[in-house]
Amino acid sequence: MTWLLKDAGEDVIVLDNLSTGFEWALPGDVRLVKGDVGDRAVLDELMKAHDIEGVIHFAGSIIVPESVSDPLKYYKNNTANSRELIEACVRHGVDKFIFSSTAAVYGDPETVPVAEDAPLKPLSPYGTSKLMTELMLNDVAAAHDFRYTALRYFNVAGADPKGRTGQSTKNATHLIKVACEAALGKRGHLGVFGTDFDTPDGTGVRDYIHVSDLVSAHYLALNRLREDGTSVVMNCGYGEGYSVRQVIEAVKAVSKVDFEVREEPRRAGDSPKVVAQNAKILTEIDWKPQYNQLDLIVEHALNWEKNLSKRNSPR
């Protein structure tokens, strides 16, 4: 996101505690404030020192099974800290807010593709922690001069096509990232968690969205708020789903590596099938996806994983 904003000529300040991020991933001329979005003193100092127009809020914990075993971490990091950030925006007159929400708010949707007005029934504390933040945003927008866009991510994958950045955290759980690691020998095998779902091949089906298309949606959403757009919630997905087995075959085909795959029991909190109904985002912000091909998403993810291996290798 930071690279796109800089490419567009925006003045950007990044607030990050670097618990999962990396300073080297930022453009060299971007100001980095090392701190937590839940730290009121840090937020006050930052917002007093700079003329902040809007906030794009990415910070949070995202591992569904971990949220089941450690829910309080997720209610602190995702919900309570978001409350502090929202309150700081109100306190300092920052009236534009873009929030990274999630398709996990739908749980196991009754209808697929799932639209924004579908029942919200999260299956995990992760999904609930994000839904609670959406509810806060709605209430704050009704009470203050404050407008927001909540983007419900489906499964984010791929990497910057220019090779500048990509997912770099250790012990990642995202399927395409993990499969690329297996293809490059960074993992001994890949686990398929659940093969008895009510889907065509028994494995979970997801809508995989390229990270570059996702960040472009954020910038379009920000510009919509700049043009006096009202608060809105929108799905961020392509409207097409792929099963775990289909993704694995795509990674094997692109990498030309037949890595080991092991079948494992289901993980707590996983939904059988979640695919976006994306008519709203296509019309509200004139979003035009550029990378909505599974093989291309895999290719970019694999290229980034190779670059990451070179970066981390001894010199």
Residue from 126, 153, 208, 238 carrying the catalytic annotation: 126
Backbone phi, then psi, for 296, in 5-degree steps? Answer: -70, -40
Task: For residue 313, give both structure tokens.
Answer: 């290798």
Neighbours of 185 (CB within 10 A): 10
Burial annotation 273-294 (CB, 10 A radius, 16+ → b, else e): bbbbbbebbeebbebebebbeb
Sequence-distant (6+) residues with CB within 8 A of 281 are 151, 217, 234, 235, 236, 287
Residue 126 a catalytic site member: yes
User: How many Cα atoms sit within 13 Å of 51 on the Cβ side?
Assistant: 2
In whole angstroms, give the CA distance from residue 104 to residue 121: 8
**Residues 258-262: contacts with CB within 8 Å, 24+ apart?**
259/179, 259/182, 259/183, 259/187, 259/189, 259/190, 260/182, 260/188, 260/189, 260/190, 261/189, 261/190, 261/191, 261/192, 262/189, 262/190, 262/191, 262/192
Three-state SS for 292?
Answer: coil
On the 0-12 / 13-18 / 19+ scale of CB atoms within 10 A, 85 is buried
Query: Radius of gyration (Cα) for the chain, nearest Å?
Result: 19
Residue whose token pair is 């996983």:
270
Catalytic residues: 126
